[in-house]
Amino acid sequence: MSFDFPSDLIEASLTCKNLKEELDALPVDDGLTLKDGAPLERKRRAARAYTEDEQARVARLRAERLAAAQTVVTHPFWESVPASDRMKARAALKHHGEAG
């Protein structure tokens, strides 16, 4: 099944994916915590805590990724897809443009 995704939805999805890759490439800060103060469990740990500049960069990247994800999730395109096909469409969007 193929879907005719609008260009702005594709762009938001790619932005979200690229920002995730950029965040995943950063060393993990040992001091990261959840909003309730609980430590954030990660598979790898950084050798040092983030500097203020690094913390600001991470916060900016996360905010940009959240905005892109919100655009993807709330895009009007999904209303045009039958509910029974939405999971397939979302999966197809994640892999849009990949070779294979």
Predicted confidence at residue 43, as pLDDT, reads 47
Per-residue pLDDT reduced to its tens digit, 48-62: 677 888 888 889 999
Residues contacting 88, CB < 8 A, separation 6+:
1
Of 12, 50, 13, which Cα lies nearest the Cα of 30? Answer: 50
Q: Please, what is the Cα angle at 46 between 44 and 48, to 5 degrees?
A: 160
| Average pLDDT of span 56-70 | 94
The structure tokens listed for 25 are: 């490439």
Q: In the block, which residue shows the tokens 């950063």? A: 26
Residues contacting 79, CB < 8 A, separation 6+:
none
Predicted confidence at residue 10, as pLDDT, reads 96
* Single pTM value for the model: 0.75
